[in-house]
Amino acid sequence: MNWGKRSLLGLLGGAVFSIGFAVQAAAQTQPPIRIGILVALEGAFAAGGADGVRNVELALRQVNNTAGGRRIETVVAPTDTRPDTAVRQARRLIEQDRVDFVIGPLSGSEGIAIRDFAKTVPDRTFINGISGAMEMTFVDPAPNVFRFNLDGNQWGAGLGRFAVQQRNIRRIATVAADYSFGHTNLMGFAVDFCRAGGTIVQRFWVPLGATDFGGVIAQLPDNIDAVYLGLGGTDAINFLNQWQQAGAGTRILGGTIMADPTVLTARGRARNALIGALTSGPIAEDNNSPAWQAYVRAYQEAFPANQRFPTPSLFGVGYYIATQAAIAGLNAVNGDLSDGQRRFNAALSQLRLATPLGEISLNENRQATGTVFINEVAEGSGGNLVNRNVGRQEGVTQTLGMDLAAFRALGLPSRTNPDCRALGGG
C-alpha cells in the first residue's frame, strides 16, 4: 500500500489525539487525588505563606492539574506558625477534608509538631513545605515525612567562614527568634563561624512575632564587627526599622530568611540597613542555571507583578519543589495510593528530583542534601534591593559534612548550643 506523507501525518496526528483523549478520560474516570496545603497565612510569615500557595498553583498548572493519570484537587489549611494550630489544621485536612496527603508546614516548630502527628496517621504522607527545624527529620524521624529542602542548620553553612575570611568579621552579637528554626539556623552559622576563629560576644533571643526591639538594640555591645540577625518576615522589618532609627552603623549578617524577597520588598528605613548584609541559604537570585532562570520566568509570567514578588521567595521555592516531588511520586506509582501509601512513600524515597535548585535526592532520614549560596544585599535597577551571589558551598549534608558521631556530639540546637569556645572560637 502506497501511503502519502500527508496521509501518514494525519494518521499519526489522529493517534496522538486519541492517546491524549484516552489519558484525559482515564484521569476523569478515577477519583481525584486531594492534596492538603498546610501553610502559614497569619503571623510574621503570612506574605511568604501566600507565595507558597502561589507556587503550589504554578507547579500544578504546569502539569494541567494531573499526576499519575489522576486529576489533582487542593485544600488550603491556613496556620499561624504555632505548633498546636498546625496539628489542628492537619487533623482537619485528614479527618474532615479527606485529603490523601499533605504538603506543609512552613515554620520551624510547626515541622516538629507535624513529625509527631504524622506518626499517628501512618497511612498518610507528609511532604514538608519549607519548615527548617533540624529535628523534623533528624530526631526520631517519621517514616511518612519527607523533606526535599535543606534544613535551617544546612542553610547556615558557609556564611561564618566567609564572614571571617573574606570580610574580616570576627566579633559579633546575635539577635535571633527564640524558637526551633531560630536555634537551628544560628547553629549552622555558628559552627562554621566559630571554627574559623570567630567570637560570639553576646546572644539575644526574642519571641516570634515581637514588635518592640528597643531594649535589645540598647543592649548591643559596641566592640563588635557585626550583628547576626536571625529574624524574618515582619519581625526582621520591624527590627531593621528600629535599628536604623537608633542610628546603628554596625554591619549585618543575616539568617537565611532575613533578606528573603518578603523583606527586601519592604519600604521604610529597613532597606538602608540591609545594603551590604551577608546571608546564606539555598537560593541565589542571580543563579545563572537554565533550570532556575526558566522557573523564575514561569513564576513571573504566571502572576501579575502586583500579586507576587519580583522573584520567588524562599517560602515559595520550598512549596514549589515539594509539589514537584508529589507530582513525580504520583507519576512513578501511576496514582496508586493503596496499601497505606507504601509504594508512594518508596517512590518518594528513591526520587532523584530535577528542581530549579538542581537535582535533589534524600538521605536515610528522607532529608535533602544540596547547595548553599552566600549572598550580599545590593541596590539593583530602579533602586530595588537584590541579593548578589558572592560564594557557594556544594553538597551540604544534614551533618554539615561531619561524620554522624561527631555531629551528634555537638548536641541539638538550643539557646546556648553550640558553644563557640568548644569549637575553637570565643
Say if residue 57's pLDDT is above 50: yes
The pLDDT assigned to 59 comes to 98
Stretch 213-231: mean pLDDT, rounded?
95
Hey, what's the cell of 408?
551528634
- What pLDDT, on the 0 to 100 scale, is given for residue 272? 81
What pLDDT is stored for residue 11 in this prediction? 41
Residue 61 Cα distances to 314, 323, 345, 358, angstroms = 20, 11, 24, 21
- The predicted structure's pLDDT at residue 246: 86
Say yes or no to pLDDT of 179 above 50.
yes
| Residue 249 in this model has a pLDDT that exceeds 90 | no
pLDDT(138) > 50: yes
**Cell, residue 342:** 507504601
Q: How many CB atoms lie within 10 A of CB 382?
A: 6
pLDDT of residue 2: 43
Please list the residue range(s) of the chain that carry CATH number 3.40.50.2300: 31-150+288-369, 154-287+371-423
- Interval 140-169 mean pLDDT: 97
Q: Say which CATH superfamily domain 31-150+288-369 falls into.
A: Response regulator (3.40.50.2300)
- For residues 168 and 161, what is the distance between their CA atoms, to the nearest angstrom? 10
pTM over 0.75: yes
Cell reading at 269: 528605613
* pLDDT beyond 90 at 214: yes
**Tens digits of per-residue pLDDT, 273-319?**
889 999 999 999 999 999 999 999 999 999 999 999 999 999 999 99
**Does 12 have pLDDT greater than 90?**
no
Residue 245: all three cell numbers together: 532609627
Residues 6+ positions from 7 with CB-CB distance below 8 Å: none
At 88 the pLDDT is 98
Q: Is the pLDDT of residue 3 over 50?
A: no
Predicted local distance difference test score (pLDDT) of residue 25: 52
> Which one, of 177, 158, 349, 170, lies nearest residue 251 by Cα?
170
Q: Which of the two residues, 53 and 263, has the higher pLDDT score?
A: 53
| CATH assignment of 154-287+371-423, among 3.20.20.80, 1.20.1090.10, 3.40.630.40, 3.40.50.2300 | 3.40.50.2300
Mean pLDDT of 119-137: 97
- Enter the C-alpha cell of residue 217: 538594640
